[in-house]
Amino acid sequence: MSDEQDPIEEAIAGMMAGAPEGLVPAPTPRPEPVRGGTQADIRARFLAMREGEVDRRAGLDYTHRRTALRRLSAAIRRYEPQIIAALAADLGKPEAEVRLTEILPVQAEISHTLKYLKRWMRPRRATSTLLTFGTRAKIVSEPKGTVLIIAPWNYPFGLLMGPLSSALAAGNAAILKPSELAPATSALVAKIITETFAPDFVWVAEGAVDVAQALLDLPFDHLFFTGSPEVGRKVMAQAARHLTPVTLELGGKSPVIIGPGADLKAAAQAVAWGKFSNAGQTCIAPDHIYVASAQMEAFLTHLKTAIRKMYGRSPEAQASGRDYARIVSERHFRRLDAMISAAEAGGATVVEGGARDAATRFIAPTVLTGVRRDAALMREEIFGPVLPVLPFEDAGAVIAAINTGPKPLALYIFEKDKGFIEEITRKTSSGAVGVNVTLAHYMHLNLPFGGIGNSGMGAAHGEWGFRAFSHEKPVLRNSFAPLSGFMPPYRGMKRRRIRLMARLLGR
């Protein structure tokens, strides 16, 4: 997410799986969801969760976890129309885009988890080594305890409920902090959770700075944060005071490389969709594009065609259509407007789009060429529907440019030549690489999703999400290990035995 965000206000701030109601008790529905409350209220709620930790650890077996996941899935299905309406109110998201990018990924995550949860929970045997001959070992996944999940405003439903499904699968209690910049979604999430789970099991803390700070002052057993690298550093510093482990899903300037042998029409379609979905407010959206110089003009033609086909042939059609979202806030609109204006003042040319309407926070899908390397569009994460396109002659120069900046969350390559693809993949570092595709790796639940360096820490989705919220506890049992032969006093045979073992292992 954009480094221009206010550090506190914004970030601190299955596929239809059926469900018997089952074993996790749901509270009596209330007409209004519980809000964040005072610092004392939040601390009391946290302590109540902590007090139930021993019982949860003993009682949240596979059946209980499965039932919790099914209840969450059923609640999402039940509230689907309201979810669509809330995201339209907060971000102007089209109905189909809400289903595709907010609801479907969560239901897919739940469905995938239900399919494999029993396998993930099963203790794993560990083979004995020479030094532990005569012992038996296993690794047991246990809940970390009470966890905090802080969601961003750009996907305020999916990026809260997705991590929650992993936390539930791992057997944890959870406090959720939705973004106050998506108030309709925040209120709806609070209502859904209040009606679905007991408040000492899953609870939503709504609010802004005071609520976020009160939460970060507590010693959670794990903290899952999605937001900008700038705010991620501050969240990590807060967590360090309690030695709370963190998963940080951040962002950065994810580049696209269009090679000389790329299918330009397919590349343009993938880039247009990946960049302009949710009006560019996506952490893994293409941030800027490098295009082989000989392909520049043809690629831009295909890109313009793809944009107009997807969103409308003119800014007026795009603004009045039903397939294009809006900028989340007036402040973010002003930030993007200033970036476009500064780039133009520096000699850049808008070759597509450029129209803006402050009253509705509309920015047309905008493509620029001739953007200076020192322009804000090239220094800062754009996080909006503005796309600089730069020509290149030599892939080595592109690799060098990527490697001089922070490691991105995603890197996209469009090319048919396997050698070109391998060179870029091998010589750069990023959270993930997409070849001839954008965004889709987020949907692949048998792949870890996460960043590296500035773009994040830890991984989520599928089994990696389960592990993020689990403690993998080793259990070692002595069967017939001659451990007394290595205990003091170290004389005679014991000294010779230890010396021999050191020689054998030091080869």
Q: Whole domain around residue 307: which residue ranges?
A: 255-450
What is the pLDDT at residue 19?
Answer: 35
Per the domain annotation, does 339 fall within a domain?
yes
Does residue 307 sit in the same domain as residue 164?
no
Does residue 213 sit in the same domain as residue 278?
no
Q: Is 283 a catalytic residue?
A: yes
Does residue 437 sit in the same domain as residue 333?
yes
**Alpha-carbon distance values, 188 to 88, 132, 163, 194 (Å):** 13, 54, 17, 10
What is the pLDDT at residue 507?
Answer: 61
Per the domain annotation, does 280 fall within a domain?
yes
Q: Which residues of the chain have pLDDT under 50?
A: 1-34
**Alpha-carbon distance values, 22 to 30, 67, 198, 465 (Å):** 20, 6, 14, 24
Does residue 125 sit in the same domain as residue 35?
yes
**Alpha-carbon distance values, 60 to 121, 123, 142, 162, 169 (Å):** 11, 15, 10, 20, 10
What is the CATH number for 170? 3.40.605.10
Per the domain annotation, does 352 fall within a domain?
yes
Does residue 201 sit in the same domain as residue 345?
no
Among the listed residues 102, 249, 352, 415, the single catalytic one is: 249
Does residue 274 sit in the same domain as residue 421?
yes
Per the domain annotation, does 493 fall within a domain?
no
Six-digit token pair at 80? 């689907």
CB 71 within 8 A of CB 79: no
What total of structural domains would you count in the chain? Answer: 2
Does residue 212 sit in the same domain as residue 324?
no
| Helix-helix angle 418-427:395-404, to 10 degrees | 20
Does residue 319 sit in the same domain as residue 334?
yes
d(CA 157, CA 174): 16
Per the domain annotation, does 115 fall within a domain?
yes
What is the pLDDT at residue 22?
Answer: 34
Which amino acid appears at position 114 of this protein? L
Among the listed residues 97, 109, 206, 283, the single catalytic one is: 283
Phi, psi dihedrals of residue 247, rounded to the nearest 5°: -115, 120
Residues in contact with 340: Cβ distance below 8 Å, sequence separation at least 6, in sequence order: 350, 354, 356, 363, 366, 368, 377, 386
Residue at a domain's end among 450, 479, 500 = 450
Q: Which of 276, 239, 504 is CA-nearest to residue 386?
A: 276
What is the pLDDT at residue 482?
Answer: 85
What is the pLDDT at residue 388?
Answer: 98
Residues in contact with 215: Cβ distance below 8 Å, sequence separation at least 6, in sequence order: 42, 148, 150, 175, 177, 205
The mean predicted confidence, pLDDT, of the chain is 91
Does residue 348 sit in the same domain as residue 236?
no
What is the pLDDT at residue 368?
Answer: 98
Per the domain annotation, does 19 fall within a domain?
yes
Per the domain annotation, does 185 fall within a domain?
yes
Give the CA dihedral 193, 197, 199, 203, nearest 10 degrees.
-30
| Helix-helix angle 296-311:264-276, to 10 degrees | 50
Does residue 219 sit in the same domain as residue 307?
no
What is the CATH number for 361? 3.40.309.10
How many residues are given for the chain? 507
In a 13 Å sphere around the CA of 78, the CA atoms on its Cβ side amount to 15
Q: Which of 241, 224, 206 is CA-nearest to residue 170?
A: 224
DSSP one-letter code for 491: -
Per the domain annotation, does 176 fall within a domain?
yes
Does residue 368 sit in the same domain as residue 439?
yes
Other Cβ atoms closer than 10 A to 447: 14
Does residue 46 sit in the same domain as residue 183?
yes
Q: Is 249 a catalytic residue?
A: yes
What is the pLDDT at residue 58?
Answer: 62
pLDDT in tens, 90-135: 999 999 999 999 999 999 999 999 999 999 999 999 999 988 889 9
pLDDT in tens, 30-39: 333 345 567 8
DSSP one-letter code for 236: H
